[in-house]
Amino acid sequence: MLSRSFASALALLAFSSVASAQVTTPCQPMERDCPPDPAFGIENHLFNFNKTPDSTVWFPKNGKVTYTPEQGAVFTINKQGESPTIETNFYFFFGRTEVWLKAASGTGIISSIVWLSDCLDEVDWEFMGGNVTHAETNYFGKARPDYLNAIYHPVDAGVQDDFHNYTTVWTQDRMDFYIDGNLVRVLLPKDANNTRNYPQTPMKLSLGIWAGGDPTLAPGTREWAGGDTDFTKGPFTMYVKSAMVSDFSSGKEYIYTDRSASWESIKVVAYVFHN
């Protein structure tokens, strides 16, 4: 059920151990009417990956993720073509994520924290396996190619040594990126092609690892990833201990009311409690 809210999914789980898989239809709201986006609708929800998370909330893609008490979620590339990822079935419309992540090693291997909306607004944290000293942040408005948006931030202790706190706080006025409590980047709408490319539509969170250095990919991608991946040097593993998600619009679902995909066009449907 697409329109089931996050809050009611949680309530449902409390009564039932059977979690039904949700099917989502990819739909571009700038081209056609799309089903409503089910909302998280609550703030500060902590997902601790010391055990398998609720499958009504987290959808696994492109391979298997395992969950361990010590290291949290384990995302491993054992061979070429693998890219295990988990993605939320729910959306936040302005909000905050706090992800505790230990990046994978390996030239060309990308550990990632990605926000993506139906119209392809995107916000990324990316960690190149060949670079232990820097984390990258990036964003896209409606998937418009812009290669000047990425910024590389030094991480004192290194990104692969331990878990670090990568937090992003997003409102209609600004987006703040923090590493271990330090503000490293502020993105203002006016600086994103005069708001045109400012991410402003309901987002899903996904966590995953992939090989940007896969020799079958375009040379530009492999170069950005830090070079070609030698899969004989694997396995390559990223760990995520926890993710905290806040949805700043408390609602049941979000609806694109026209083709503009501007934040003003998104309708927040209120949650109605049934007694």
Ligand X SMILES: *[C@@H]1O[C@H](CO)[C@@H](O)[C@H](O)[C@H]1NC(C)=O
- SS3 string, 75-92, reads EEECCCCCCCEEEECCEE
Find the shortest distance in angstroms from Cβ 270 to ligand X.
28
Q: Shortest gap between Cβ of 181 and ligand X (angstroms)?
A: 4
Q: How far is the CB of 1 from ligand X (least distance, A)?
A: 33
Q: Which is nearer to ligand X, 35 or 158 (CB)?
A: 158
- Choice among 31, 43, 98, 122 that is catalytic: 122
Q: Is 82 a catalytic residue?
A: no
CB 173, CB 157: distance < 8 Å: no
E strands present in the chain:
37-38, 45-48, 58-61, 65-68, 72-77, 85-88, 95-102, 109-117, 122-128, 134-140, 151-154, 164-170, 175-179, 182-187, 203-211, 236-247, 253-256, 266-269
**Between residues 5 and 197, which has the closer beta carbon with respect to ligand X?**
197
Catalytic-labelled residue, pool 82, 87, 126, 253: 126
CB of 235 to ligand X, least distance (A): 21
Question: Which residues of this protein are in contact with ligand X, per CB under 6 A?
Answer: 98, 130-131, 133-134, 144, 146, 152, 165, 167, 178, 181, 193, 196-197
Residue whose CB is less far from ligand X, 37 or 247 = 247
Token pair, residue 124, equals: 């990324």
The backbone torsions φ and ψ at residue 208, rounded to the nearest 5 degrees and listed phi first, read: -170, 170
Q: Is 31 a catalytic residue?
A: no
Please, are residues 115 and 199 in contact by the beta-carbon 8 Å criterion?
yes
36 vs 227 by CB, closer to ligand X: 227
Please list the active-site residues. Answer: 122, 126
